[in-house]
């Protein structure tokens, strides 16, 4: 079914081959925290060696291996693969619990440390996700924020509507996101970044706590 999904929706393989293997490993580590990610990999590999294979193992392992293989050639959309790896968490919890219970109390300290460190990392990760916009206050360039590509669209759509623009034409990625928030596509209003060489006040400015994140200009084309 995973292969069918890939064939149906496709994977973008355009452009020159570029190695992003380490980037992919880093993103997985950021999503699951380094300790949990390493343990997930350990559990999947251990179950492969012991032939303790089940459906959840297949779902997570196949997707994980495919994502790593693709990352040798190109940057992958991690959101297409990470949800499948989450399926492995019940297996990980089961393995950890079994390993913990079969040991005497004097030999459980290592597992207690791993569990404590994992929980601390998970709490930190969760706080970072919920409070990620506060990081903009410490960045000189907003584009360097790890979630910058996930922001802007909602606020931009709201700002455009407040100025009477219910449809615009812009870059494909942003166009799709704006459509989700109720701003459709049309050829009369062109949304572009403001040219700094032209001293024009931006039509749209998106800021967070007085920190400007995005500016754009809308060019109205009259075809009549």
Three-point CA angle 200, 204, 209, nearest 5°: 115
Residues 196 and 108 in one domain: no
Transcribe 30-68 into DSSP letters: HHH-HHHHHHHHHHHHHHHHTT---HHHHHHHHHHHHHH
Per-residue pLDDT tens over the stretch 25-62: 888 888 888 888 999 999 999 999 988 888 889 989 98
Residues 178 and 216 in one domain: yes
Per-residue pLDDT tens over the stretch 110-156: 888 988 988 898 888 888 878 888 888 888 888 887 777 788 888 88
- Name the domain boundary from 100, 130, 160: 130
- The pLDDT score that the predictor gives to residue 216 is 84
Residues 93 and 197 in one domain: no
Domain that holds residue 60: 2-130
| Stronger pLDDT, 82 or 17, i.e. the higher one | 82
The residue among 140, 165, 168, 136 whose CA lies nearest residue 150 is 136
Residues 112 and 212 in one domain: no
Residues 49 and 90 in one domain: yes
Residues 124 and 152 in one domain: no
Average pLDDT, integer, range 165-187: 89
Per-residue pLDDT tens over the stretch 66-76: 888 888 888 88
- The pLDDT score that the predictor gives to residue 12 is 66
The model's pTM is 0.65
Give the residues across from 191 on adjacent strands: 218
Examine residue 54 and state whether it is found in any structural domain, yes or no. yes
Residues 125 and 153 in one domain: no
The average confidence (pLDDT) of the chain is 84
From residue 131, give the alpha-carbon distance in Å to each of 33, 121, 127, 137: 17, 15, 6, 12
Residues 159 and 190 in one domain: yes
């Amino acid at each position: 079914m995973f292969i069918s999904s890939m064939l149906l929706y496709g994977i973008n393989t355009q452009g020159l081959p570029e190695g992003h293997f380490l980037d992919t490993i880093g993103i997985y580590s950021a999503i699951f925290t380094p300790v949990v990610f390493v343990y997930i990999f350990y559990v999947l590999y251990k179950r492969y060696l012991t032939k303790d294979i089940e459906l959840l193992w297949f779902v997570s392992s196949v997707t994980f291996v495919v994502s790593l293989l693709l990352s040798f050639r190109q940057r992958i959309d991690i959101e297409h693969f990470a949800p499948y790896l989450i399926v492995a968490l019940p297996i990980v919890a089961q393995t950890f619990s079994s390993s913990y219970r079969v040991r005497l109390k004097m030999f459980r300290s290592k597992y207690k440390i791993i569990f404590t460190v994992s929980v601390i990392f998970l709490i930190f990760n969760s706080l970072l996700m919920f409070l990620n916009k506060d990081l903009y206050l410490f960045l000189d360039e907003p584009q360097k924020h790890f979630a910058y590509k996930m922001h802007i669209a909602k606020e931009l759509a709201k700002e455009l509507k407040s100025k009477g623009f219910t449809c615009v034409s812009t870059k494909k990625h942003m166009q799709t996101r704006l459509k989700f928030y109720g701003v459709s596509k049309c050829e009369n209003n062109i949304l572009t970044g403001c040219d700094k060489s032209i001293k024009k006040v931006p039509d749209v400015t998106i800021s967070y706590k007085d920190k400007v994140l995005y500016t754009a200009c809308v060019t109205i084309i009259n075809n009549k």
